[in-house]
Structure 1
Amino acid sequence: MRKYETIFILSPLFDEETVKANIEKFKGVIENGGGTVDNVDFWGKRKLAYEIKKVGEGFYTLFSFTAGPELPKELDRVFRITDGVIRHIIVIEQV
């Protein structure tokens, strides 16, 4: 088991309930895949450093989680197929 961090940006067109539903969806992917979510840090709506597909802001969320080596691949796949995810990244947490 390794420690990972992921940050993702959701569309600013989403309402609060949709954002919370997506956060729970991604937490579920981690927990159902045998991992544990250590920390969820919701940053709220922030301005992007540069526009992505004519979008200038989004809802930022940071997860810290512990999982096996296969789970980040599945989480990446789910991020890619979920509508409204503007950007995401998954990294191994340095100790």
Structure 2
Amino acid sequence: MYNYEVTFIVDPVLSGDEIKATAHVYEEMLKNEGCNIIHIDEMGLKPLAYPINKRSSGVYYCYEFTSENGVIISKLELALRRDERIMRFLTVALDKYGVKYNADKRNGLIGKVKKKVKPGKKEDGGAPVREAREPREPREPRQSAPAPAPAPVVAAPVVEPVVAEPTPAPVVKQEEE
């Protein structure tokens, strides 16, 4: 048995019944080919990361199914490619880790964050109630470290001014003609 997952985006301009009918066509196609549909996830209308066919949103569907052989994949992708109502699709062959991840996600072990109720907070969503603190004991003043000893003063060396010696001008020989 091979495990697969196909996700496709239906054009949101269609009516609600047409969108469901489009998704139902592929569900029936998988059943007629002898596939066992494990889970159908109707994710609903979601915004797209970039425009597709001048649309900024789409209706997402994700089917997880098993098949005896991979022949159905080519037939399914051909049907999805030819259908103008499908904006994009992606078919993935799942390994054992993908199957386990999807099973855990369906059972609620992955993906949903449980809210932790912090003590001192109202459960009705109002402002938190602040608990009274015990007064602190006054701190002792910090003892500062002793100041470092000043560095010894060293006399600056005496520099004699340098006087340039006059140099004679170079003698230029003129050429005879």
Q: Please, what TM-score do these two structures have when normalized by structure 1?
A: 0.95
Equivalent runs, 1:52-67 vs 2, <5 Å: 52-67=52-67
Taking the aligned partners of 1:79 and 1:16, their CA distance within structure 2 comes to 19
- Report if aligned partners of 2:22, 2:85 keep a CA contact under 8 Å in 1: no
AA aligned to 1:21 is A
Percentage of identical aligned residues: 26
Written as runs of structure 1 = structure 2, the 5 A alignment for 1:53-92 is 53-67=53-67, 68-92=69-93
The structure whose RCO (Cα within 8 Å, separation 6+) is larger is 1
Judging by fraction of residues, say which structure has more helix.
Answer: 1
Residues paired across the two proteins, number? 95
Which structure has greater strand proportion? 1
Residue 29 of structure 1 is matched in structure 2 by: 29
- The alpha carbon displacement at 1:53 in A equals 2.0
- Structure 1: gaps of 5 or more residues: none
Q: Distance in 1 between matches of 2:88 and 2:8?
A: 6
Paired residue secondary structure (1:79): helix
| Cα displacement (A) at 1:52 | 1.1
How far apart are the structure 2 equivalents of 1:20 and 1:74?
21
TM-score of the aligned structures, taking structure 2 as reference length: 0.52
Q: Give CA-to-partner distance per residue, 1:20-64, whole Å, 9 cap, x none.
A: 111110011111111111100001111001111211100000100
Separation in 2, partners of 1:82, 1:33:
19
- Higher alpha-carbon Rg: 2
Off by >3 Å, runs of 4+ in structure 1: none
